[in-house]
Amino acid sequence: MCNTCGCNITPGNRKHAYTPVAGTTAVSVLQNLLAKNDDQAAHNRAHFDQHGVLTINLMSAPGSGKTTLLEATIETLKDAFRIGVIEGDLATENDAARIRAKGVPAHQITTGSACHLDAHMVHEALHHFPLEGLDFLFIENVGNLVCPASFDLGQHRNVTLLSVTEGDDKPAKYPVMFRAADCVLLTKCDLLPLLEDFDPARAEGYVRNLANDAPVLRLSARNGQGLNAWFDWLRQTRAQQQARLAAGGTTRPKARPEGAPLNETPA
């Protein structure tokens, strides 16, 4: 986007661009408010692509089971893939310690009480976190169904968790978050027999109402049910990204434009 020559004024938005008022000069800008974050995210993505690592952003309400799912994922995949984790639990080192106990490198972003991660925090974390040789980088975002969806971190895919204890209408109440999901995981499904009012099909229906055709997987990290479909999704998503990288392309989460070229060299 160029803000000086006016090339980002399209027929669709031109009518909004100019509103002169007596005594002042109206200057048209037409820039996304999060442009700086988005630039940093593109830079992060170039780092990931340079190292051939697939980066996945995990988002959910607090306590939906992100760290537990990562533990189970590492357990099964660590012999076949090299995995790294960036943790966004800003107040404690607990989650990173749980991941390290599984024998996988983990970096905890500790910036106090922020309610979401942004691209600058992730870039800073990359200085402490070598990407060399990694196959998967998981970023566990701050437990919050609102803010994290607005900030691109440079990830290739968004995964949103919804635990069955939260209620099946969450996708209707948090459309921004669930629209951003490339894969939705209904977690803690071992508890479904106790929670008659959570209907997985209804939860999926609310996701479809957001024009989102992402897979909606039902699983439990506690008893292991449904985990194989999640592992298959991870393997398949990684294979697809490897093919894109080989062809000189990359990918971004679905709610954002697709197919950006690898034209950026990270500093």
Partner 1 sequence: MHELSVCQALLAQVAAVARAHDAQGVRAVRLRVGPLSGVEVSLLKQAYPVASAGTLAESSELLIELAPIRVKCETCGAESEAQPNRLLCARCGDDHTRLMSGDELMLMSVELVI
Query: In whole angstroms, how close is the CB of 213 to ligand GTP at the nearest point?
Result: 25
Q: Please, is 265 exposed, middle or buried when counting C-beta atoms within 10 Å of its C-beta (0-12, 13-18, 19+)? A: exposed
Please calculate the CA angle 122-211-156 and round it to the nearest 5 degrees: 25
DSSP state of 163: E
Listed ranges 76-84, 100-108, 218-226, 242-250: which one lies at the site for ligand GTP (CB under 6 A): 218-226
What's the token pair of residue 238? 């990684």
Least distance in angstroms from the C-beta of 194 to partner 1: 27
Rounded Cα distance, 109 and 112, in Å: 9
222 scored as a contact of ligand GTP (CB under 6 A): yes
What are phi and psi for residue 93, nearest 5 degrees? -95, 10
Nearer to ligand GTP, 134 or 159 (CB): 159
- Residues 237 and 195: their CA atoms lie apart, in Å, by 32
Interface stretch with ligand GTP, choices 35-43, 65-73, 167-175, 243-251 (CB under 6 A): 65-73
30/192 with CB nearer partner 1: 30
- The item of partner 1, ligand GTP, Zn ion, none sharing an interface with residue 246, based on CB under 5 to 8 Å by kind, is none
Chain contacts with partner 1 (rule: CB under 8 A): 13, 16-19, 21, 23-37, 115-116, 118, 146-147, 149-151, 171-173, 175-176, 179, 206, 208-211, 213, 255
Nearest residue (CB) to partner 1, 117 versus 137: 117
Q: Which residue in the set 55, 57, 64, 73 belongs to the binding site for ligand GTP (CB under 6 A)?
A: 64
Characterize 190-212 residue by residue with b for buried, 16 or more Cβ atoms within 10 angstroms of its Cβ, and e for exposed.
bebeebeebebeebbebbeebeb
- Closest approach, Cβ 65 to ligand GTP, in A, equals 3
Q: Report CA Rg, the chain.
A: 20
Length of the chain in residues, anyone? 267
User: 216: which 2 tokens?
Assistant: 């909606």
User: Which residues in this chain contact Zn ion in the complex, by CB under 5 A?
Assistant: 66-67, 95, 115-116, 147, 266
User: Which residues in this chain contact ligand GTP in the complex, by CB under 6 A?
Assistant: 60, 62-68, 89, 95, 143, 187-188, 190-191, 220-222
